Chains A and B, each alone.
Chain A
Amino acid sequence: MAGEAMDIEVAEQKLKSMDHAEQHYFNSYNHHGIHEEMLKDEVRTRSYMNAIVQNKHLFKDKVVLDVGCGTGILSMFAVKAGAKHVIGVDMSTIIFKAREIAKVNGMEDKITFIQGKMEEIELPFPKVDIIISEWMGYFLLYESMLDTVLYARDKYLEKDGLLFPDKATIFVAGIEDGEYKDEKIGFWDNVYGFNYSPLKETALSEPLVDVVEVKAVVTDPTSVLTLDLYTCTTEDLAFSCPFDLTARRDDFIHALVAWFDIEFSACHKPIRFSTGPHTKYTHWKQTVFYLKDVLTVQQGEKIECSLHNRPNEKNKRDLDIKIQYRLETQDPTRQAEGTCLFKMC
């Protein structure tokens, strides 16, 4: 989960002050296990492959920039689609593997891999025609590389250049999750006979990245953020959105679940994929926000909610998320209202 992503982060920080033996350590398989997980995420990798390889008319003879190229798979797809040249940029040492891989696949002349920060390196081309990037994090925005992609867009993308993908939407729905909430949150009420409530508070304030079954979803989903990558700015990543959730059936709501959809609208036939509970598993899973109350809802009732998200002031990679909810009913015993604060870190 998030831990592995963090390992790489830590590895990168340490990397600078390291000798070769240690670089090798951070270059080792265990620490690159995350790339295996991402490549094996079929929904993710196949969507990118289709978006690129099926659109040779867009890639032919173009200069392509791959932001956060990892093992170089997207760069190689772009070469396959006829790109004139691809530049792969990544801060992680995985890029050394990408270089080896491109070579054994006979693409070393077509791809230039540059290790470093997008903001600090110099590209061999003043402008690029297409930017491809798999930048999404949990809850779309957590530890995401979107700000780097936007930087690259503003600095390098041609006026009529294309972004792959170019649209991202976050959705939210209410879920019945009593059993798991008890296992994850209730656990701290009684740990081998002891009261562990201080850890319960922490557990409640941390969104949980996990798989939610579609049958747990009680309300219609609502979008809370839509990003058009051609026009959005880093300021848009701090956002507030009021929204309503309408109950599809009589049930309880223990939590809100969030996921995102990704779209490649430049394609001849638009390609999109979702990371929601209604579709195939992805390594992003879903993100669950447990509420303090359990809401008792009847079919057709609306829960008035709002979601506020902003990067933490001290640590920009962490997200501070506030969720407010209010259930107005004729039945005063079911009325509920609350504010929950979360921190993704």
Chain B
Amino acid sequence: MIEHCKEKYGLDFLAIRDRLQLDFHGTVRLINFIRQKVHEGATLPEEITAADLEDDRYLKPVLDDDALILCLDDLPEAGKPAAAAVPELSQFLSNAGANGAKTADAPMVDSLLLKNAELQAELEQLSKQFSNYRLAVQQTLDQRWQADEDTGDTKPSASSDSKDSKDEKPKDDSAYYFESYAHNDIHEVMLKDAVRTDAYRDFIYNNKDLFAGKVVLDIGCGTGILSMFCAKAGAKQVIAVDNSDIINKARENIFNNGLDKTITLLKGKMEEVILPVKQVDIIVSEWMGYALLYEAMMPSVIYARDRYLDPVNGLLVPSHANIWLAPVSDQEYLADHITYWRDVYGFDMKAMQDGIFADARPQISPARTVCGTPSAFRFLDLHTIKAEDLVFTAKWESTFKQSDSADQLLLDGFLVWFDMFFARSRVDHFIVPTTTAAEWAPKTDKNEERVAFTTGPFGTETHWKQVLMLLDKTKIKETEVVDGKKIAGEITYATAEGHHRGLTLKVTWGVEGQKQDQTWKLH
């Protein structure tokens, strides 16, 4: 933000502060002075002087619920030592200068050295506090300017009333996206998804050596659970970022658990917040959506990885992912949700069936509905994957399995799910594109360093369920499930048009060379 001010507005905040030798109150005055001017729409004077800031009204915050003031509340000790230390320090410096001439005065030197050490410690403490303070100021100003920019560019499009409002749309559905995470329910579901939360906990707690003394970034921290795991595991500093209002609850949770010294919370988009550090050692994030890539949060993780993660030793938690597809045959489901509409209280309601074939549906599918060997079609090494790799076409292949049913089974659709891997290092040669979670990290020993989980139909249910894509039998040719016969094709993941957090999934399939295809939306 500071850089942003400097480049865009020629406002060198730090230089002004230093030039005017502002103490904490002075800095508060400076911020409010700038805000007041911005608020009034006035331009700032060429050179802000101490006289400009004299008016005591600049001690009064310009913005209500100013993050700055919240920050001062959070850090009650920040103001006093800072104000006291500046004169003390300058006194010390002038003493030290004078001292150069009387080096013979040994006790004086000793006491000065002692004093020096004390002050250095104090200075370190202060600069830490000040960086927190700066952060809060940055965020507030960022929000302020962001708000200005937002009103700036939505106004014309709102008044133009044009159909082609594509630029504006992603913003809208993102707002809805972040809003959807503001409530308790969704976090309760996620926290109570033991497959998910246990996996992160087990990896972090069973590998404390990896976390001890490290700087960790938690992307999309939600209620703060992963940040707190990392803090407990010995991380030196955890920076937790989330753009949803749930972060206010995370702040309370972290304070109540006495971890507020270790965890710094930043509200905002990953691409827009400015971290208090240049580099982090570990990125932990629970970014996975339905069919792995729904919600499109991975690009934010990639952005943060490329910008902040130590490029040599930095670790992503989790580290690898694998996406699977299997053919399914599910007469019961078809009867419940499709055949049902043929006769509803005596009426033909088949019109209600339409979308069922167009939408990929997140739902639990019983293992018995899987009628062929699962195929791992996409392997993601999260340390190296690029944003453009998230749109892809991949091959898959499956062999139909014998069923116990006497009836001839028909292919009714495809099921997609994913496995997640938590490796201790950037490179793990044991994870290959066809590895399952159960193979790589068998659940034998609780204290296993390796952790992995599956969201597939053969594992414990998770809140990700699986994604079911039903074949539109009115348009496609039926495929019989014949034991031992191979079925193969391709699957394409693309960003949904007009809904950038959604997915469009296309599957092609064929037995003995005949190719068919169908496309589904996951919105």
Which A residues form the contact surface with B (CB < 8 A)?
Answer: 3, 10, 14, 17, 19, 21-22, 25, 27-30, 32, 35-36, 39-40, 45-46, 49, 71, 73, 76-77, 80, 97, 100-101, 104-105, 187, 191-199, 202-203, 206
A191 x B225 contact (CB < 8 A) = yes
Given known contacts A192-B229, A199-B184, A25 and B523 CB-to-CB distance under 8 angstroms: yes
Task: Give residues 357-396 of B contacting A (CB, 8 Å).
Answer: 358-359, 361
Q: How far is the CA of A6 from the CA of B396 in the complex (A)?
A: 38
Select one of B163, B349, B353, B521 contacting A71, CB under 8 A: B349
- 1/0 per residue, CB under 8 A from A, across B186-218: the answer is 011001100001000100000000000000000
B201 x A32 contact (CB < 8 A) = no
Q: How far is the CA of A194 from the CA of B257 in the complex (A)?
A: 6
Q: How far is the CA of A77 from the CA of B344 in the complex (A)?
A: 11
Given known contacts A192-B201, A194-B253, A198-B252, A29 and B359 CB-to-CB distance under 8 angstroms: yes
Q: Which of the listed residues B165, B172, B184, B337 has the most CB atoms from chain A within 10 Å of its own CB?
A: B184
Dominant secondary structure of chain B at its interface with chain A: helix
- 1/0 per residue, CB under 8 A from A, across B497-523: the answer is 111000000000000000000000101
List 18 interface pairs A-B (beta carbons < 8 Å), by A numbering: A25-B499, A25-B523, A28-B523, A29-B359, A32-B352, A45-B345, A46-B345, A49-B345, A71-B349, A73-B345, A73-B347, A101-B348, A104-B350, A105-B347, A105-B348, A191-B223, A194-B225, A199-B184
What residues of B have a CB within 8 angstroms of the CB of A49 in the complex?
345
List the 9 closest A-B pairs by CB distance, nearest first: A29-B355, A100-B351, A28-B355, A198-B252, A29-B356, A195-B256, A101-B351, A30-B359, A202-B184
Q: How far is the CA of A10 from the CA of B523 in the complex (A)?
A: 14
What residues of B have a CB within 8 angstroms of the CB of A97 in the complex?
351-352, 354
- 1/0 per residue, CB under 8 A from A, across B230-253: the answer is 001000000000000000010011
B352 x A35 contact (CB < 8 A) = yes
Q: Which of the listed residues B256, B340, B345 has the most CB atoms from chain A within 10 Å of its own CB?
A: B345
What residues of A have a CB within 8 angstroms of the CB of B257 in the complex?
194-195
What residues of B have a CB within 8 angstroms of the CB of A80 in the complex?
346
| B137 interface hit (Cβ, 8 Å) | no
CB distance from B68 to the nearest CB of A (A): 23
What residues of A have a CB within 8 angstroms of the CB of B256 in the complex?
195, 197-198
What residues of A have a CB within 8 angstroms of the CB of B317 in the complex?
none
What residues of A have a CB within 8 angstroms of the CB of B349 in the complex?
39, 71, 101
Q: How far is the CA of A104 from the CA of B346 in the complex (A)?
A: 12
Q: How far is the CA of A101 from the CA of B354 in the complex (A)?
A: 12
Q: Which of the listed residues B223, B253, B351 has the most CB atoms from chain A within 10 Å of its own CB?
A: B351
CB distance from A295 to the nearest CB of B (A): 25
Q: How far is the CA of A252 from the CA of B257 in the complex (A)?
A: 32
| B228 interface hit (Cβ, 8 Å) | yes
For the A-B complex, the count of residue pairs with Cβ-Cβ distances under 8 Å equals: 104
Select one of B163, B351, B359, B361 contacting A19, CB under 8 A: B163
Q: How far is the CA of A180 from the CA of B172 in the complex (A)?
A: 37
On chain B, the number of residues with a Cβ less than 8 Å from chain A's Cβ atoms is 45
Shortest Cβ distance from A106 into B: residue: B348
What residues of A have a CB within 8 angstroms of the CB of B352 in the complex?
29, 32, 35-36, 71, 97, 101
What residues of A have a CB within 8 angstroms of the CB of B523 in the complex?
25, 28, 30
What residues of A have a CB within 8 angstroms of the CB of B350 in the complex?
104
CB distance from B498 to the nearest CB of A (A): 5
Q: How far is the CA of A136 from the CA of B523 in the complex (A)?
A: 28
Q: How far is the CA of A10 from the CA of B176 in the complex (A)?
A: 9
Given contacts A14-B172, A25-B498, A187-B192, 6 further A-B contacts (CB under 8 A): A73-B344, A97-B352, A195-B257, A199-B184, A199-B223, A203-B184
Given known contacts A194-B253, A195-B256, A30 and B344 CB-to-CB distance under 8 angstroms: no
What residues of B have a CB within 8 angstroms of the CB of A39 in the complex?
344-345, 349
What residues of B have a CB within 8 angstroms of the CB of A206 in the complex?
184
What residues of A have a CB within 8 angstroms of the CB of B228 in the complex?
194
B253 x A198 contact (CB < 8 A) = yes
Q: How far is the CA of A19 from the CA of B249 in the complex (A)?
A: 37
| B407 interface hit (Cβ, 8 Å) | no
Q: Which of the listed residues A14, A105, A196 has the most CB atoms from chain B within 10 Å of its own CB?
A: A196
Q: How far is the CA of A214 from the CA of B521 in the complex (A)?
A: 42
Q: How far is the CA of A78 from the CA of B305 in the complex (A)?
A: 61
CB distance from B289 to the nearest CB of A (A): 15
What residues of B have a CB within 8 angstroms of the CB of A203 in the complex?
184, 188
A36 x B184 contact (CB < 8 A) = no
Shortest Cβ distance from A40 into B: residue: B340
What residues of A have a CB within 8 angstroms of the CB of B354 in the complex?
29, 97
| B185 interface hit (Cβ, 8 Å) | yes
What residues of A have a CB within 8 angstroms of the CB of B351 in the complex?
97, 100-101, 104
What residues of B have a CB within 8 angstroms of the CB of A104 in the complex?
348, 350-351
- 1/0 per residue, CB under 8 A from A, across B85-96: the answer is 000000000000
What residues of A have a CB within 8 angstroms of the CB of B187 in the complex?
199
What residues of A have a CB within 8 angstroms of the CB of B192 in the complex?
187
Q: How far is the CA of A193 from the CA of B197 in the complex (A)?
A: 12
Shortest Cβ distance from A3 into B: residue: B185
CB distance from B499 to the nearest CB of A (A): 7
CB distance from A97 to the nearest CB of B (A): 5
What residues of B have a CB within 8 angstroms of the CB of A25 in the complex?
498-499, 521, 523
Q: How far is the CA of A270 from the CA of B361 in the complex (A)?
A: 41
Q: How far is the CA of A49 from the CA of B348 in the complex (A)?
A: 16
B358 x A29 contact (CB < 8 A) = yes
- 1/0 per residue, CB under 8 A from A, across B471-497: the answer is 000000000000000000000000001
CB distance from A332 to the nearest CB of B (A): 34
What residues of B have a CB within 8 angstroms of the CB of A193 in the complex?
232
What residues of B have a CB within 8 angstroms of the CB of A14 in the complex?
172
Q: How far is the CA of A32 from the CA of B358 in the complex (A)?
A: 13
Shortest Cβ distance from B498 into A: residue: A22
What residues of A have a CB within 8 angstroms of the CB of B249 in the complex?
198-199, 202
A36 x B337 contact (CB < 8 A) = yes
Q: How far is the CA of A49 from the CA of B346 in the complex (A)?
A: 11
Select one of B184, B344, B355, B361 contacting A27, CB under 8 A: B355
What residues of B have a CB within 8 angstroms of the CB of A192 in the complex?
191, 197, 201, 225, 229
Shortest Cβ distance from B497 into A: residue: A21
Shortest Cβ distance from A191 into B: residue: B191
CB distance from B162 to the nearest CB of A (A): 10
A17 x B348 contact (CB < 8 A) = no
Q: How far is the CA of A19 from the CA of B497 in the complex (A)?
A: 12
What residues of B have a CB within 8 angstroms of the CB of A191 in the complex?
191, 223, 225
Q: How far is the CA of A187 from the CA of B225 in the complex (A)?
A: 14
Q: How far is the CA of A77 from the CA of B187 in the complex (A)?
A: 42
A19 x B498 contact (CB < 8 A) = yes
Q: How far is the CA of A27 from the CA of B352 in the complex (A)?
A: 10
Shortest Cβ distance from B248 into A: residue: A198
CB distance from B468 to the nearest CB of A (A): 11
CB distance from B284 to the nearest CB of A (A): 14
